[in-house]
Structure 1
């Protein structure tokens, strides 16, 4: 997979897994074209590639483009070789179909693995952020450099906190939109939202400049412009 191999030169993508998966997929294509039931399993290698790409925040389209690039090259090579052998038209027609089916199945596995790993990482990060914010509120000692790096906030700045909730619950997306509306009322502020316990969303606004009295007053009567939220 040429694009992924190129990317692996500057990342820690598992090159051996890339080679194993490429070999397995090509063998499956050749076996199916030859009428054999042999089907090497590339799922472990594909999951390893997807998980590594997700962990390193490698753009997903880079990985998919790599697989599609392999698809194109294999298809061109197979078609050129089968034409030289003067195979029947029906046999030639099977080549793109088989190659596409095998590659699409591989992409489906990569998509699933990538999204599952991103979800796992996001849940872990959210849990850590929640624990870190709680530790700060409790006044427990923390590594300030790590806190600032992972939360994306400068602790020396001026901060405003808010807690959003809705009786009966509200989706995280809706409450996040309300948090963004709050941030809009404080120009230049950095926004951090943390999913707290229950239906609560913690909002942390950070800015170099101290909020003015006018900005403080503007927040007091604030009502979200989203139906059903308050």
Structure 2
């Protein structure tokens, strides 16, 4: 998390300096560099939240140097998306509290969502209760973080409002949006846009400024 420490607190934390020394990294950091980052901290922290991760410990290891490819494990206590992403709304509240305690800055959630298979019915409708439930549960935890925990939240924008090619897998069938786009993984389709059930639900949430979360 030292990137956030540098940008929010204006310092390289002690632990990352010890890590660099242990690894033999000799960085050419000048006193003027330290003055620059101290003077140029951010006004707020913008972050994306899709899921939480679980990691495993290595027996006998005195230093835990996290490696995303080797250390991540499945969390059996949360549900998962069609692509195996862990669905953990409470993790969002935890993350908001963690960042507030560590960086003491207002927060802005710039991405939140998950990919799923969507089916177009014979009448053209797209029923996506799983997406509505996902947004409902995460917004609820976001509200608790603000009202019960005192987190200062500037804004929230989900990802995404319209289907698009997934950046993580390069697929069109991995749909994030509240608006369906008629196109498949091979680029075939009319590109016609159709509003999913989640579109109408989120419209209601916006109109009520988050007061109406009824599903």
Please state which structure has a larger fraction of its residues in helix.
1
User: Normalising to structure 1: TM-score of the pair?
Assistant: 0.27
**Higher gyration radius (CA):** 1
User: Normalising to structure 2: TM-score of the pair?
Assistant: 0.28
